[in-house]
């Protein structure tokens, strides 16, 4: 390993909002793999506030930061409609990119971003941090090993009241800037998770409504989905219920997997629970070691097994994955194409709202992007 590979990856922040203060700034500061070199925001005061807290030099000019900030890579976490501007500028300067979800507002811009990073030979990773929860990684290994058989059905909910997250602004509820309030900020996490665990989408039918919020936005989301492998799914979310709703279930021919990643509650009471009719000798170690029998001499002969992996920050694992990809010169674990595929489902959902029917996937490259209007 060369000296340049041994040193921390020098990162610049593009944007100085709440996610930088709550997550990316402190995670980079704690990481042995990275260091914060620079912070950009059009409001210099906001950039200086983040730099004062976590380190680095503040800029109010993106080109200047990319040119003079001494960065190897950037984290892009601006309002959604500016993601493309930040990613493409970084690629033009040869900087690797971790872009917060969504990758962009539509698939056309997403494709331009992917192509710009490919042409520049830089890593593009998308911030679907929920893939890095320990329970999700165990579930993925079980699915890939065929432990629960063929998956025919899945469901997932992710909801959060609009006032719960301590955001600096309410840009998420300005559809011209965000491209969506619930589907593109919350549900898109579960769109990616569903594709990660079950496979590519083949179609979507959407019902998006404005039910409660002061802003006329999608605060009540339901998606019915078809997967290329034949499974069916239901993804839902809202922005008005006071609890943070969370839970993902996978139903297979030989078992069921339940995942709760963000919160636990009486209905989602375990980070990971697996139902199987297999005997103890057929269990993988992670399940055999997690099972507590009624008595020490009794074995397992089917039922639920609860797994409680250590609760480690998915943002820390996400950053390590990003730095590892840069050092190894390999694609990211969550690529720009993954971001594009998730955005495609959002765009198809909007087209479904317009047509009132199912929309097949993948979409045509020139498929229109029209954000619904809500009363």
- Asked if residue 324 is part of any domain, the answer here is yes
Domain co-membership, 193 together with 103: no
Q: What is the CATH number of the domain that holds 154?
A: 3.30.360.10
Lowest-confidence segment of 196-205, 282-291, 294-303 by average pLDDT: 294-303
Domain co-membership, 232 together with 328: no
- For residue 194, how far is the Cα from the chain centroid? 11
Domain co-membership, 241 together with 106: no
- Asked if residue 42 is part of any domain, the answer here is yes
Spatial separation of the C-alpha atoms in residues 34 and 323, rounded to whole Å: 7
pLDDT digits (tens, 9 = 90+) for 227-284: 999 999 999 999 999 989 999 999 999 999 999 998 998 888 899 999 999 999 999 9
Nearest to 187 by CA among 160, 209, 152, 215: 160
- Asked if residue 301 is part of any domain, the answer here is yes
Q: Which pLDDT score, from 0 to 100, does residue 169 have? A: 85
Q: Which pLDDT score, from 0 to 100, does residue 192 have? A: 98
- For residue 43, how far is the Cα from the chain centroid? 27
Q: Which residues pair with 255 in a beta bridge?
A: 252, 276
Task: Give yes or no for residue 39 having a pLDDT over 50.
Answer: yes
Domain co-membership, 121 together with 141: no
With a pLDDT cut of 90, the percent of the chain lying above it is 91
Domain co-membership, 195 together with 121: no
What are the φ/ψ torsions at residue 219 (nearest 5 degrees)? -105, 10
Domain co-membership, 18 together with 84: yes
Spatial separation of the C-alpha atoms in residues 216 and 149, rounded to whole Å: 43
Tally of structural domains, the chain:
2
Domain co-membership, 16 together with 93: yes
Domain housing 250:
131-310+345-355
Domain co-membership, 139 together with 257: yes
pTM confidence score: 0.95
With a pLDDT cut of 70, the percent of the chain lying above it is 99
Q: Which pLDDT score, from 0 to 100, does residue 5 have? A: 57
- Asked if residue 371 is part of any domain, the answer here is no
**Exposure of 22 by Cβ count < 10 A (0-12 exposed, 13-18 middle, 19+ buried)?**
middle
Task: Give yes or no for residue 320 having a pLDDT over 60.
Answer: yes
Q: What is the CATH number of the domain that holds 23?
A: 3.40.50.720
Section 309-329 average pLDDT:
97
Lowest-confidence segment of 17-26, 158-167, 276-285, 309-318 by average pLDDT: 158-167
- Asked if residue 364 is part of any domain, the answer here is no
pLDDT digits (tens, 9 = 90+) for 190-242: 999 999 999 999 999 999 999 999 999 999 999 999 999 999 999 999 999 99
Q: Which residues contact 58 (CB under 8 A, 6 or more apart)?
A: 38, 39, 40, 41, 44, 47, 48, 50, 51
Section 353-365 average pLDDT:
97
Task: Give yes or no for residue 1 having a pLDDT over 60.
Answer: no
Q: Which pLDDT score, from 0 to 100, does residue 235 have? A: 98
Section 9-25 average pLDDT:
96
Section 359-363 average pLDDT:
98
For 207, the 3-state DSSP assignment is: strand
- Asked if residue 375 is part of any domain, the answer here is no
pLDDT digits (tens, 9 = 90+) for 117-133: 999 999 999 999 999 99
């Amino acid at each position: 390993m060369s000296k340049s590979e041994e040193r921390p990856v020098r990162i610049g922040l593009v944007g100085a909002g709440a996610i930088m203060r709550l997550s990316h700034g402190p995670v980079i500061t704690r990481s042995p793999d990275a260091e914060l070199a620079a912070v950009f925001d059009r409001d210099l005061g906001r950039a200086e506030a983040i730099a004062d807290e976590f380190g680095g030099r503040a800029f109010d000019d993106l080109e200047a930061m990319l040119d003079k900030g001494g960065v190897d890579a950037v984290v892009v976490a601006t309002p959604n409609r500016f993601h493309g501007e930040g990613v493409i500028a970084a690629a033009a300067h040869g900087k690797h990119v971790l872009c917060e979800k969504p990758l962009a507002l539509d698939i056309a811009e997403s494709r331009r971003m992917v192509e710009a990073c490919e042409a520049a030979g830089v890593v593009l990773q998308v911030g679907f941090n929920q893939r890095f929860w320990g329970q999700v990684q165990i579930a993925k290994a079980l699915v890939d090993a065929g432990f629960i058989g063929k998956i025919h059905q899945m469901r997932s909910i992710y909801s959060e009241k609009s006032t719960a997250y301590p955001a600096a602004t309410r840009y998420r509820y300005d559809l011209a800037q965000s491209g969506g309030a619930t589907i593109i900020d919350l549900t898109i996490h579960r769109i990616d998770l569903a594709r990660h665990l079950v496979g590519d989408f083949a179609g979507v039918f959407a019902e998006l409504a404005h039910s409660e919020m002061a802003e006329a936005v999608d605060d009540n989301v339901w998606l019915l989905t078809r997967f290329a492998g034949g499974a069916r799914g239901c993804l839902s979310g809202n922005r008005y219920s006071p609890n943070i709703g969370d839970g993902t279930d996978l139903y297979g021919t030989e078992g069921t997997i339940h995942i709760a990643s963000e919160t636990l509650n009486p209905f989602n009471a375990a980070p990971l629970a697996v139902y199987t009719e297999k005997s103890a000798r057929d269990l993988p170690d992670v399940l055999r070691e997690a099972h507590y029998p009624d008595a020490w001499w009794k074995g397992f002969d089917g039922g639920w097994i609860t797994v409680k992996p250590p609760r480690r920050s998915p943002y820390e694992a996400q950053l390590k994955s990003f730095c590892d990809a840069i050092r190894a010169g390999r694609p990211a674990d969550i690529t720009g194409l993954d971001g594009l595929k998730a955005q495609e489902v959002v765009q198809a959902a909007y087209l479904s709202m317009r047509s009132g029917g199912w929309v097949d996937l993948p979409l045509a490259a020139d498929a229109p992007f029209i954000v619904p209007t809500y009363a």
